Amino acid sequence: MVSRDGDEVLHLERRGRVALLTLDRPGRLNAIGTDTIAQLAAALDSIESDSELRAIVITGAGRAFSAGADITELDRLSGPADFARFAKALTDVLDRLSACPIVSVAAVNGLAFGGGFELALACDLRLASPSARFGVPEIKLGLLPAAAGTQRLSRLLPVTVAKYLLFTGEPLSAERALHYGVLNEVLDDVLGAALALGESLAGGPPASLAAAKRLVDVGLTMPLASAIVLERETVAGLFASEDRIEGISAFLEKRPPIFGGR
C-alpha cells in the first residue's frame, strides 16, 4: 500500500488464508496519520474482495504496535473542523474493520497508545507480548480519544477502570490488560501465535464465523429478547448451508471437516 507521497506505511501480505497487515513507521513508533488511514482502507478493500482470505492479523513493525495518532500531523491542523475530519476518517476505517465479516486478530508487539489502542480495540481478538502496554494518554494533551476509544473501552472494561485510564492517561501492562479481559493471551511469540490462530480460524466455516461476530456485536445493542430471536433466525439460516452439511457429515464420519464457504 503506497500513499500519495510515495511512502509505504502499511504492508499487506498473504500468509496462506490469512491477510497480514503491518504498520510500518518504526522510526515514528507506527504513528497513525492520514496516509495510514487511507492505506488501511485500501487494504480492507483488497481483503474483502479476495474470497480466499479468511482471517486478518494486524501488527506493528519494530518495538511498537502503534503510539497513536501522528502528533506532528495533528499540530498542523487549523482548528476543530480539521480535527473532526481527521477523527472521523480514523473512526470510519476502524468501524469498518470492526464490522468486517472476516475475523481480525491484533498482534500487539509493543506499546499501543491512543489511536493504536483504538485500532487494537477494533479487532475481534487481541494477543500481546509481555512487554506490551495499553493506554489512552490523550488527556495529557488536553484531548480525549476520538475514534471510539471512550466508547469501546467503557463497553469492554469495568466502568471504573475505563474512567481511570481516560482520566489519568496512565497505561495498562499486558498482565493487567489480560486480567481485565482486554487480551485473549499474553505470550512471547505474539506474531507467530496470531498467525497460527488466524490460520486456525480460516479453517472454520466463514458464514458461521461472520454470523457469530455479528450476533455478539449487534446483539449487545439490542434488548435480550430481540437478540435471542435474531440468534435463532440467523442459525436457522446457517442450517441451509453446505458447510453445515459438511460439518455434521464430518462429525458422524469422525474426520476433520473441510469447509468451502458455502
Residues with a catalytic annotation lie at 118, 138
Query: Which residue has cell 464465523?
Result: 209
For residue 146, give the amino acid letter: A
Which residues, in sequence order, are CB contacts of 114 under 8 Å at separation 6+? 67, 68, 69, 135, 136, 137, 138, 145, 149
Which contiguous run of DSSP H or E holds residue 189? none
Radius of gyration of the chain (CA): 19
The C-alpha atoms of residue 71 and residue 76 are separated, in whole angstroms, by: 9
Closest CA to 186 of 133, 129, 112, 135: 129
